[in-house]
Amino acid sequence: MVTREDVLDRASARFDNGTFLAALARRVAVPTESQEPRGARHLADYLTHEIRPTFETLGGQFHVFDNPVAGGPPIGVGRLDEDPALPTVLVYGHGDTVRGQEGQWAEGRDPWRLERVGDRIYGRGVADNKGQHSVNLAALQTVRETRGRLGFNLRFLLEMAEEVGSTGLREFCEAERDLLTADLLIASDGPRLEIHRPTVFMGARGALNFDLSLELRAGGHHSGNWGGLLANPAIRLMHAIASLVGPTGAILVPELKPAQIPENVRACLRGLAVDGGPDAPEIDPGWGEPGLTTAEKVFAWNTFEVLAMTAGNPAAPVNAIPPSARAHCQIRFTVDRDASTFLPAIRRHLVAAGFGDVVVTPAEKGYFNATRLDPDHPVAQWAVRSVERTVGQAPAVLPNLGGSLPNDLFARLLGMPTIWVPHSYAGCSQHAPNEHGLAPVLREGLRVMTGLFWDLGEAPPAL
């Protein structure tokens, strides 16, 4: 009789004998840059020539759909039905990457060639997201090969536009609701909280990007002749921002932050610390909302950030009072506040503070809704028990990720509980030169996901 330990051993062997890394190397070699026009043809090739044959080894069918938004890249969906009485799981990932940034990698590395140096495995997409969905595909293959069946029905959704705002994904999910409806989502993206301990998270903070701008006149004017007489838009805009967020990053407008942290969320985060590994920046202990732990600041609270700010020409400044100033800002937020109220609240506050001339404009892109599965939900508890059984220690449990994902499409639009198990870490150089994964994390992730999919076929959660 095949046991759970047998299938976990097969998962380990898949990594140790090079089978997993060989598949990942093929996928990294496809330059799927969704931010570059040159990557367009590779986006379709990745689905058709790499993912389709891999999924078909499971015994299912993989279809490539046109994006419902004109000009958007295709979307792939694999389908495998074993029995209508069995639960159905939706597995999500994205095959596109950010720009390769050739010529900027250390030691002349090619971003499109997998290279292992010690425990580091370099290549564009190893962390985000080719390595992560490759772990999940390999885990599904391992379960299928060992048991002869999955023990559940499967939908595998792979988009190719996540790095450009998931173009068309919402429209696709709305149009293909019947195809994508499942009992739960299991997916992987983002980093672990700690390198040596698996993480399970059940949602994501939302992100709202917007501009604050102030235009006072048509052109610049000599600072010697007009300084002290003309209002400086950069100074006014800086003071306007300072009225919204304090000198240590604490939000000053009550409508922009949660009223409180739910007790079971606080309980999940108790004792957890943010650890990005040896290459991560040093945390500024006095930054952010006073009285919160580092984990609570990132996973249970809202933050206001200025991402970019301009006035005049910083690259070639002149002795002139600039005519205008602009700041591109962002609020990361939890489910505890309705994000549709944020910009009206900012406008009201600025008027009351004497900055009614500052214009608040939502960004064309850069919005994700917040989601959070209750930590006490049976699916969340089941997933945590499965991971603990595999690795022998309790995983770090986050009610939601600090970053943002299109999880609201699954949790809200399609209405299913969502479980995310990341296979990366915060120091992975994601979106930068030298992106890499860690061999021990990927290997353990393969065991963890194999255990989850095995348990889903053996003893699924109450759904």
What DSSP string runs through 423-447? -EETTS-TTSTT-EEEHHHHHHHHH
Residue 184 sits at the vertex; the CA angle it makes with 384 and 274, to the nearest 5 degrees, is: 40
**Phi/psi of residue 195, nearest 5 degrees:** -60, -45
Q: Give the Cα separation of 420 and 91 in Å (integer).
A: 10
Q: In the chain, pLDDT over 90 holds for what percent of residues?
A: 93
Instruction: Tell me what pLDDT residue 274 has.
Output: 80
How far does Cα 118 stand from its chain's mean position?
A: 27
Residue-range domain boundaries for the chain: 4-204+370-458, 206-272+300-367
Any idea which fold 4-204+370-458 has? Aminopeptidase (3.40.630)
Instruction: Tell me what pLDDT residue 418 has.
Output: 98
Q: Which of 267, 280, 91, 125 is nearest to 193 (CA)?
A: 280
**Phi/psi of residue 313, nearest 5 degrees:** -125, 95
Confidence category of residue 445, pLDDT binned at 50, 70, 90:
very high
Q: Give the Cα separation of 118 and 112 in Å (integer).
A: 19
pLDDT at 277 over 70: no
State pTM to two decimals: 0.91
Instruction: Tell me what pLDDT residue 281 has.
Output: 81
Residue pLDDT, tens place only, 234-261: 999 999 999 999 999 999 999 999 999 9
> In 3-state terms, what secondary structure has residue 387?
helix
Any idea which fold 206-272+300-367 has? Alpha-Beta Plaits (3.30.70)
Strand-pairing partners, residue 93, are: 158
Residue pLDDT, tens place only, 343-394: 999 999 999 999 999 999 999 876 889 999 999 999 999 999 999 999 999 9
Q: Which of 82, 46, 81, 91 is nearest to 64 (CA)?
A: 46
Q: Give the Cα separation of 339 and 341 in Å (integer).
A: 5
Residue 111 exposure: Cα atoms within 13 Å on the Cβ side: 25
Query: How many other CB atoms are there within 10 angstroms of residue 273's CB atom?
Result: 12
Strands 436-438 and 120-122: what pairing? Answer: antiparallel
The single residue listed with the structure tokens 């739910």 is 262
Please, are residues 371 and 418 in contact by the beta-carbon 8 Å criterion? yes
Strands 191-192 and 424-425: what pairing? Answer: parallel
Confidence category of residue 11, pLDDT binned at 50, 70, 90:
very high
> In 3-state terms, what secondary structure has residue 38?
helix
Q: Tell me the average pLDDT across 170-189.
A: 97
Instruction: Tell me what pLDDT residue 302 has.
Output: 98
Mean pLDDT of the chain: 96
Two structure tokens written together for 378: 């049976």
Instruction: Tell me what pLDDT residue 353 has.
Output: 98
pLDDT at 450 over 80: yes
Q: Which of 315, 366, 318 is nearest to 339 (CA)?
A: 366
Two structure tokens written together for 242: 């300072």
Residue pLDDT, tens place only, 187-218: 999 999 989 999 999 999 999 999 999 999 99
